[in-house]
Amino acid sequence: MIVEEVRAEAKGKMGKSIEHLREEFGRVRTGRANPGLVEKLMVDYYGAEVPLQQLAGFSVPDARLLQITPYDQNAITAIEKALQESDLGINPSNDGKVIRLAFPQLTEERRKELVKVVKQRAEDARVAVRNIRRQARHDLEEFAKEGEISEDDLARAEKDLEKLTHEFVEEIDELLEHKEQELMEV
């Protein structure tokens, strides 16, 4: 039935918004070494832009150290250059085989800035979810106008859509709360 298709499409798009938010949160530094901070970083590898995760392996020997081991030793300078030009604000060091990123302790001020950043990203995700709801509602209203679904079906579908939106917004709020705690943890 049309209503289920619209709901399934909206749910899928809302799920993608949540996944995108998780990825965004993974890129926000928490003072801990995390491969998610650099694995999507684009590296100029023989003239082609390639994600770092395709060029190197990652390990975290301790909480503040990220070790990057290139699969091809010739790529080490290109990887180092990409890391220096990134917005990480950390200088990489290499011994010819492995690149190390030492993450300094975050200051209180920097933690508060990062909390603002994650709050903004969470709000962007909420807006995206609400826009998906609005589009789905618009589609349903069009089907009702064309007589493909009844007014009762429309009312039920809108209630269901509202409930679905609320569930996704709650999940965004939970992710935000968790990330805030992680950032403020010393």
pLDDT in tens, the chain (186 residues): 788 999 999 999 999 999 999 988 877 766 677 787 788 889 999 989 999 889 999 998 888 888 999 999 888 989 998 888 877 777 888 898 899 988 877 788 878 888 888 999 999 999 999 999 999 999 999 999 998 999 999 999 999 999 999 999 999 999 999 999 888 876
Q: Which residues contact 26 (CB under 8 A, 6 or more apart)?
A: 34, 36, 37
Q: DSSP assignment of 61-110, as one string? A: EETTEEEEEESSGGGHHHHHHHHHHSTT----EE-SS-EEEEPPPPPHHH
| Domain range summary for the chain, segments of one domain joined by + | 2-27+107-184, 35-102
Burial of 4 (0-12, 13-18, 19+ CB in 10 A): exposed
β-strand pairing of 48-51 with 42-45 = antiparallel
Q: Give the torsion sign (CA, 65, 68, 73, 79).
A: negative
Q: Which fold has domain 2-27+107-184?
A: Topoisomerase I; Chain A, domain 4 (1.10.132)
pTM across the whole model: 0.70
Top-tier CATH class for 35-102: alpha beta
